[in-house]
Structure 1
Amino acid sequence: MPGEPPSSIVPAIRTWWPRIRRLVTFAFFATVAVLLLMHLRTVDWHGVFSAMRSHSIATMLFACLLAVASHALYSCFDLLGRHLTGHHLKTRLVMAINFICYAFNLNLGALVGGVAFRYRLYSRFGLGVDAVTQVLATSMLTNWLGYLLLAGAAFAATPLPVPEDWPVGTAGLRAAGGFLSTLALSYLALCALSRRRVWTVRGHAIRLPSARLALLQLLMSSANWLMIAGILHFLLGAQTPFMLVLGVLLAAAFAGVVTHVPAGLGVLEAVFLALLAGRLPDTAILAALLAYRAIYYLAPLILAAIMYLAFESVSGDKMAARSAG
């Protein structure tokens, strides 16, 4: 019939497809390895170890516990997507994939960690593109939903000491805070009141969660951002108000997204130095941020890389069998 491929093409495709898949897999793995090595080479390891030695054991231990709790909580974000899609991958498997994606996202950027790793790993366990897209969208939205609410509260309640040469002043931040909080509350209202429960984004169906699930998204995300701010608060010696540290962190997170710098390298430090100038010595701020990167970024990245290698070492058939249940 017109439009059908010649019969000789189908066997050729079937013959070459396994080789193409192996080539794509090797290319993905090689790209990840190169990006990982490049990232680790940019780390000032001497400064990291010096910064960690400058803090007391109790401070480092408490910061580590908060980091573990934060990563564990974030690893549950994809479980919300599982609830919406109805897929049946095991809880511990979903959390493991979520943890790997988050660790690589923090260090190599959202495109590699948040997107590529999710599609790569979930597809190996049999999830279709639409299901992975729903999980990805739900996880990303959960993360930024809490950000919107907390940034709105922090910018409005505790105005940041913005330098005079910044384009946005205190009044502008307060206005931005009100706008961000409105966005978060509008999402809750949409989930509670909208009659349309499925939205199409670039050809993919995205299901709107219930009001209860949306509220859970808000609570989980807010708790995660608060724990991250708690890590920095204690590493800074608890010498600055917690709400101020939270506001600076949220401002730095926004700046990191806008600049598209992997792991926010340089951006985080610049924002903290600018907004905490005069409150703490620059050396203390930098030491706290280096210790924070070691605890929250680098240590999870090493563990995530090991877990990812373990996943890649298992054949597709075995992975599909393990995912059942």
Structure 2
Amino acid sequence: MTLRAGAATPAPGPPKTGTWWGRITRVLTLAFFAAVAWFIVRYARTVEWARVWEALIGTPGQVLAGAAALTACSFALISCFDLLGRHYTGHQVPALKVFKVNFISYAFNLNLGAIVGGIAFRFRMYSQLGLDNGTIGRVMSLSMLTNWLGYLLLGGVAFLLWPLALPPEWNVQASELRWLGAVLVALALAYIALCMWSPRRSFMLRGHELLLPPRRMVPLQLVMSCGNWMIMGAIIWLLLQGQAPYPAVLNVLLVAAMAGVITHVPAGLGVLEAVFIALLAHRVPEWQLIAALLGYRALYYIAPLMLATLLYLWFEARTTRPRPPRTP
């Protein structure tokens, strides 16, 4: 679903902090963040950092090259998400420029958070390219929906077919994870059913009009999003060099992604590591796990951010360059 273009339609936002739901959300977020911080400090004191560094610099060159290639594939794929919005809205910004805007905003989104990267950068750049706020909102919301649609379906299937082997002290059964997987799949299927067969193409939700995308776009949304999440899991799995099975790594990545959204921590800093340590440390030595995650951050977060920064500076220089005065 996407927001209808127009000045009368307000942009979606977080719940108001004055409501009871807003207060509960803030308390739960702070509690989760505190738990993650405590977990990180506790483990940081026990980690053998010399072994972490040894494992990191000892990573074979072919592994790093493969992970770098997968990172490029992931960014190339997710940078096409806004092209769906271009086709849907019919705006005339060239496809290559849309690709660049998507790449820059995604890189900043990963490192600085959705508000700064996913929203502010998109509005800034698309506005300079001539799009109105309504069209930008529809492009952005369709891109975000595409990303999380794949998450729901892939995460649900992963929990159903390959439930995590959780640490024994957690006392969580595989059947409980399968129930969670069933709920995620049901949500994804409900959206797909609405898009494919609903006679209504718009719905009102808390004062916002939501539009369903064309039916033919749904399979493409699923393929692009699921493919990107699977590539991201493959990057970490490759850096772990077979120390854990791929389905388990993918499962943990999906859990870490949701934890990062809940805590609103920029770049999921510490959250990603805490979740992986909690769920895989009983299967993979901690120093190897941390070394792989540091390599993942360098390849998937820092390197694209450096490139995106250069591209953004170039974009600003090109779009804000003063025009020569017209001769009378």
- Using the size of structure 1 for normalisation, the TM-score is 0.79
CA distance in 2: counterparts of 1:296 and 1:123, whole angstroms: 27
Structure 1 SS opposite 2:164: coil
Q: Give the secondary-structure state (helix, strand or coil) at the position aligned to 1:137.
A: helix
Structure-1 separation of matches of 2:200 and 2:211: 9
Task: Look up the SS of the partner of 1:172 in the other structure.
Answer: helix
Shift in alpha-carbon separation, 1:210–1:167, aligned structure 2, 3 A: farther
Per-residue deviation at 1:317? 7.6
Determine helix, strand or coil for the equivalent of 1:95. Answer: helix
RMSD of aligned C-alpha atoms?
A: 2.3
User: Is 2:210 the counterpart of 1:238?
Assistant: no
Matched letter for residue 88 of structure 1? Q
Cα contact 2:128–2:319 (8 A) shared by 1? no
Q: Deviations over 1:237-273 (max 9, x none)?
A: 1221111111011011111111111111111111111
Q: Write the distance in 2 (CA, Å) between the matches of 1:261 and 1:302.
A: 20
Query: Would the alpha carbon gap of residues 206 and 124 (structure 1) be closer, same or farther in structure 2, given more than 3 Å must change?
Result: farther
Indicate conservation of the 8 Å contact 2:52/2:290, yes or no: no
One-letter identity of the residue aligned with 2:270: G
Distance 1:75 1:201, change over 3 A: farther
What residue is the counterpart of 1:146 in the other structure? 150
Matched, 1:56 2:27: no
One of 158, 172, 177 as aligned partner of 1:173 = 177
- Report SS of the residue matched to 2:318: coil
Asked if the contact 1:253–1:268 (Cα under 8 Å) also holds between the matched residues in 2, the reply is yes
Q: CA–CA distance in 2 between the matches of 1:274 and 1:150?
A: 22
Distance 2:322 2:180 in 1: 50
Identity of aligned residues (%): 53
Residues 114-163 of structure 1 show CA distances to partners (whole Å, capped at 9, x for unaligned) of 11111111011110111000011000001011111111011111111234
| Aligned residue in 2 for 1:96 | 100
- Aligned pairs (5 A) from 1:117-156: 117-156=121-160
1:49 positional shift:
8.0
CA distance in 2, matches of 1:308, 1:144: 26
Name whichever of 122-131 and 270-279 sits farther off. 270-279
Return the letter of the residue paired with 2:246: F
Aligned partner (choices 303, 306, 321) of residue 302 of structure 1: 306
Report the 3-state secondary structure (helix = DSSP H, G, I; strand = E; otherwise coil) of the residue aligned with 1:313.
helix
Equivalent residue number for residue 71 of structure 1: 75
- Separation (CA, whole Å) in 2 of partners of 1:179 and 1:310: 45
- Code of the residue aligned with 2:129 in structure 1: it is F
- What is the aligned counterpart of 1:107 among 94, 111, 114? 111
Query: Gaps spanning 5+ residues in structure 2: where?
Result: 1-49, 324-328
> Conserved in 2, the CA contact under 8 Å of 1:51 and 1:290?
no
Specify the SS of the correspondent of 1:314.
Answer: helix
In the alignment, is the contact (CA less than 8 A) between 1:232 and 1:292 conserved in 2?
yes
SS of the aligned residue for 1:280 comes to: coil
Given the alignment, which residue of 173, 184, 187 partners 2:188? 184
1:211 partner amino acid: R
Distance in 1 (alpha carbons) for counterparts of 2:78 and 2:139: 13
- Structure 1's unaligned 5+ residue stretches are 1-45, 320-325
Q: Which residue of 1 aligns with 2:258?
A: 254
Aligned to 2:5: none
| Aligned residue identity for 1:84 | Y
| C-alpha deviation, 1:207, in angstroms | 3.2
Q: Name the CA distance, whole Å, in 1 between partners of 2:204 and 2:132.
A: 16
SS in 2 for 1:160: coil
Which residue of 2 is the match for residue 219 of structure 1?
223
1:209 aligned residue (191, 207, 213): 213
Whether contact under 8 Å (1:125, 1:316) holds in the other structure is no
2:53·2:291 contact (CA, 8 Å) conserved in 1?
no
Tell me the residue number matched to 1:38.
none
| 1:195 corresponding residue in structure 2 | 199
Cα distance, 1:206 vs. partner? 4.3
How many Å separate the matches in 2 of 1:125 and 1:239? 47
Structure 1 contact 48–291 (Cα < 8 Å) conserved: no
Number of corresponding residues: 274
Relative to structure 1, the CA distance from residue 239 to residue 163 in structure 2 (aligned partners, 3 Å threshold; closer, same or farther) is closer
Letter paired with 2:231: M
Code of the aligned partner of 1:254: M
